[in-house]
């Protein structure tokens, strides 16, 4: 096991009706002027936003609202949010929604606390900052795990570049998780969320360090739980047990717990980011699109790791099979599960069609940050490797 530090300071407030505590929880962390960030109309139509407002008013807090966050949150929206936060004098950001809303709030909190710098310069690490405004979350979509993580993603719509930023103060002060708030989610969003939760753990599980017994057990157990309850959530809409398991798994999957003592890989995430940046595709769907091709390209680096994944996560029978056979069976079983969720496993299923070679090369070039980086740790991938993986998915 590698040396590690683990600190997960987000207070999780879990259960039915917990959103009614929002106001006093914001006040508990020093908020008095709150910018409430949300997505589309679901928070309004469901009455959730009104309940949040009532809770803030009951706690004696002043607030403004900012709606309109889109999937793959945009730099332009975040910049507008910074202007509103500064003009309002916000001292706390409250995100009501899923990962995109939380990431937008994180970006706004960062820009509003560092107005002397351009937000994209901060996001792309051209300048270094140390502060942001505190953030709270009322979660409505189990998926991204942004409610307990230090990371966020933002898309620059002017050049179609999507970038992630890990910044420890990004971790929300609290996250309210009421599984009942997920009951009206469409099946596609549930499926994307299941894939995202799984991939946050799988991108940590597949790494060069294979001696982390406890970390592996936690990761394998989380994955088994998500696989069972992902299917159950789709088959039985409004199932509290299934959605509660997914909601808690999403938070645990991205707070760092499932990769302690290892070296995270996240190559499938980097591959998928370029697809969502270029085609504005849902994040979870892009991960499912590239994972099978990534795995088939990389598994021979350590077939035993994939074999263990197949046996411990999928329950494959190892009798009479060597590591390579088990590895390939594990890869196919994973892809079949994604397909059972109506998730894509290649470009044509994602909806972008079969791409010409020049487009594949552009994707690969962008994935290397225009020739300035490699990706991955399980197997380090350069431009030619990335291009090959995109080619494998191009059907």
**pLDDT tens, 256-269?**
999 999 999 999 99
| Lateral strand order in the sheet of 135-139 | 11-14, 174-177, 135-139, 92-97, 33-38, 62-66
Cα–Cα dist 104/134, whole Å: 13
The token pair at 219 is 């990761």
Cα–Cα dist 101/81, whole Å: 12
Q: What is the pLDDT of residue 232?
A: 97
**Of 129, 111, 327, 309, whose CA–CA distance to 210 is shortest?**
309
Which ranges of the chain does DSSP label H, i.e. alpha helix? 22-28, 42-45, 48-58, 75-88, 99-112, 119-123, 187-205, 213-235, 240-253, 267-279, 283-298, 303-312, 323-340, 347-350, 357-367, 383-393
For the chain, which residues make up each domain, given as ranges? Answer: 11-181, 186-393
Q: What is the pLDDT of residue 164?
A: 96
Strands 151-156 and 161-166: antiparallel
Look up the CATH architecture of domain 186-393.
Answer: Up-down Bundle (1.20)
Tokens 């499912």, residue? 288
Q: What is the pLDDT of residue 137?
A: 98
Q: What is the pLDDT of residue 1?
A: 80
Q: What is the pLDDT of residue 294?
A: 98
**Of 118, 137, 309, 319, whose CA–CA distance to 217 is shortest?**
309
Q: Are 152 and 127 in contact (CB under 8 A)?
A: no
Can you list the residues of the chain whose pLDDT is less than 50?
none
Look up the CATH architecture of domain 11-181.
Answer: 3-Layer(aba) Sandwich (3.40)
Which ranges of 150-212 does DSSP label H, i.e. alpha helix? 187-205
Same fold, 11-181 and 186-393: no
């Amino acid at each position: 096991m590698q040396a590690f530090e683990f600190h997960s300071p987000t207070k999780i407030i879990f259960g039915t009706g917990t959103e009614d505590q929002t106001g006093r929880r914001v006040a508990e962390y020093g908020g008095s002027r709150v910018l409430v960030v949300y997505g589309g109309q679901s928070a309004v139509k469901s009455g959730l936003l009104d309940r949040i407002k009532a809770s803030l008013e009951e706690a004696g807090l002043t607030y403004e609202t900012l709606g309109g966050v889109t999937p793959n949150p945009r730099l332009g929206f975040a910049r507008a949010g910074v202007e509103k936060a500064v003009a309002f004098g916000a001292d706390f950001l409250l995100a009501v929604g899923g990962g995109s809303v939380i990431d937008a709030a994180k970006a706004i909190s960062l820009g509003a606390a560092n107005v002397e710098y351009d937000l994209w310069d901060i996001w792309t690490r051209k300048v270094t900052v140390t502060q942001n405004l505190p953030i709270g979350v009322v979660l409505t979509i189990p998926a991204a795990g942004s409610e307990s993580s230090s990371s966020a993603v933002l898309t620059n719509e002017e050049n179609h570049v999507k970038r992630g930023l890990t910044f420890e103060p990004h971790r929300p002060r609290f996250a309210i998780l009421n599984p009942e708030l997920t009951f009206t989610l469409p099946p596609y969003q549930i499926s994307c969320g299941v894939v995202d939760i799984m991939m946050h753990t799988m991108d940590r599980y597949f790494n060069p360090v294979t001696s982390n017994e406890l970390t592996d057990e936690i990761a394998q157990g989380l994955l088994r739980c998500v696989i069972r309850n992902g299917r159950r959530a789709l088959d039985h809409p409004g199932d509290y047990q299934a959605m509660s398991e997914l909601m808690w798994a999403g938070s645990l999957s991205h707070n760092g717990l499932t990769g302690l003592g290892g070296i995270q890989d996240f190559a499938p995430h980097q591959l998928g980011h370029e697809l969502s940046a270029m085609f504005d595709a849902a994040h979870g769907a892009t991960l499912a699109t590239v994972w099978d091709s990534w795995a088939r390209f990389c598994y021979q680096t350590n077939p035993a790791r994939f074999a263990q994944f197949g046996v411990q996560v999928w329950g494959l029978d190892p009798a009479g099979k060597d590591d390579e056979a088990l590895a390939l069976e594990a890869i196919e079983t994973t892809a079949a599960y994604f397909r059972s969720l109506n998730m894509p496993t290649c470009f044509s299923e994602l909806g972008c069609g079969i791409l010409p070679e020049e487009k594949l090369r552009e994707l690969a070039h962008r994935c290397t940050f225009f020739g300035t980086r490699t990706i991955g740790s399980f197997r380090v991938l350069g431009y030619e490797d990335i291009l090959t993986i995109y080619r494998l998915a191009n059907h």
